[in-house]
């Protein structure tokens, strides 16, 4: 069953107007990630992926990540559009957030812009912001989108959305 899209308020984007298949586009919005008092990332050079019913996932360039915090995981997954993803653990002091980030070292040609950029699940992290606004993680354990007040849903990942 396809849900009824929320009516966007002034200044909002409807995730139901995002394309399928997904696309990637550059953004000048400021993306910051902090955890346990440590700055993990800060950039105005992110790439966001847009897909029908999903809030954007934000991919950050390696140059704007704090060096030495990511450790490669053995986990892999396959996206039908982007290719094979590899995962990363975030290590801060004695805390390890396992598989909290992912990247595409060899993306498909349509997503070449994502090469080596890193996306993060917002849920396990203390603070993820878009232009200073704290994000809400996309529902469901699989999805990595970041919900901000300028988005209208409903968003894939809520109970009953498996078939969207």
User: CB atoms < 10 A from the CB of 139, how many?
Assistant: 19
Does residue 142 carry a pLDDT above 90? no
Residues making up the chain, counted from first to last: 164
Q: What is the pTM of this model?
A: 0.96
Please, which pLDDT band fits residue 1 given cuts at 50, 70 and 90?
Answer: low
Does residue 107 carry a pLDDT above 70? yes
Average pLDDT over residues 60-82: 97
Q: What is the pLDDT of residue 159?
A: 85
CA distances from 13 to 52, 118, 140 (A): 11, 24, 21
Does residue 112 carry a pLDDT above 80? yes
The answer to whether residues 8 and 152 touch, using CB atoms and an 8 Å cutoff, is yes
pLDDT tens by residue, 9-51: 999 999 999 999 999 999 999 999 999 999 999 999 999 999 9
Angle formed at CA 154 by CA 23 and CA 136, multiple of 5 degrees: 80
Q: What is the pLDDT of residue 160?
A: 84
Average pLDDT over residues 58-63: 98
What mean pLDDT, rounded, does the chain reach?
96
Does residue 163 carry a pLDDT above 90? no
User: CB atoms < 10 A from the CB of 128, how many?
Assistant: 24
Query: Residue 90 corresponds to which tokens in the numbers above?
Result: 């975030």
pLDDT tens by residue, 143-153: 999 999 999 99
């Amino acid at each position: 069953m396809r849900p009824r899209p929320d009516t966007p308020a002034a200044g909002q984007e409807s995730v139901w107007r995002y394309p399928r298949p997904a696309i990637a586009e550059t953004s000048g919005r400021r993306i910051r990630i902090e955890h346990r008092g440590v700055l993990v990332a800060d950039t105005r050079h992110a790439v966001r992926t847009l897909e029908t019913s999903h809030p954007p996932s934000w991919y950050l360039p390696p140059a704007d990540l704090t060096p030495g915090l990511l450790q490669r995981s053995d986990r892999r997954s396959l996206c039908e559009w982007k290719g094979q993803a590899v995962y990363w653990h975030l290590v801060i002091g004695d805390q390890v957030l396992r598989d909290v980030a992912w990247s595409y070292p060899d993306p498909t040609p349509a997503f070449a812009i994502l090469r080596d950029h890193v996306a993060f699940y917002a849920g396990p992290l203390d603070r993820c912001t878009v232009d200073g606004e704290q994000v809400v993680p996309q529902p469901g354990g699989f999805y990595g989108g970041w919900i901000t007040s300028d988005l209208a849903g409903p968003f894939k990942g809520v109970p009953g959305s498996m078939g969207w």
